[in-house]
Amino acid sequence: MRLGLVVATAIAAASVVSVASADTYVVHERAEVVTTDDYHYREGVELGGYAGVGYGVGVGGRIGATFHPGVYLGGAFTYYSGNAAFVGGELGYKFWPGNRWELRPYAFLGPAFVRVGDDGFGRRADQPEIVLAFQPGFLAAYHFGAAYISAEGRAYVTPHPGALALLGGVGVNL
């Protein structure tokens, strides 16, 4: 009987030690979750092109740079089907709600080259063809690797208040 009690006690003690060791072993072997950002597009230079509608059918491009903590500074050019062209600077701020999603409110400021007469968006012939353009906008982009696709909207405050442009684009972060 004593031998049975000694064997049972030894098995119970070994079981308790094994369970305690196993729990400690598992806790020590758990890997910490490490999130890394394999994409280096949050800061640096980007180059993009876009097309859409606004003052007619338009195409354009932009080049710019993003600085820490998300300030965007760049230049853009947009040409609308022979009626208007815009060239100037953009200042914005990039938000990153997810690893691949970018949201960027921005403001464009620069000269607008608009035709006058019947095709000049209601501008009279005695008004200048070169005027200052101010266009607040909003861009949403989805990044995959260094490339991205985007959609944006622009409100034209000047030279023709009330105009709106909707554009889709592609780009790459260099």
The CATH number assigned to the domain holding 169 equals: 2.40.160.20
Angle value at C-alpha 170, between 62 and 135, nearest 5 degrees: 45
pLDDT at site 7: 62
pLDDT at site 23: 47
| Domain extent at residue 167 | 44-173
| Domain shared by 27 and 51, yes or no | no
CB count in 10 Å sphere of residue 100: 14
The pTM (predicted TM-score) of the whole model is: 0.72
Mean pLDDT by 10 residues, the chain (174 residues): 64 58 49 51 89 91 93 95 88 91 96 66 68 95 94 89 90 92
Structural domain count, the chain:
2
| Domain shared by 57 and 27, yes or no | no
Residue 106 lies in a domain: yes
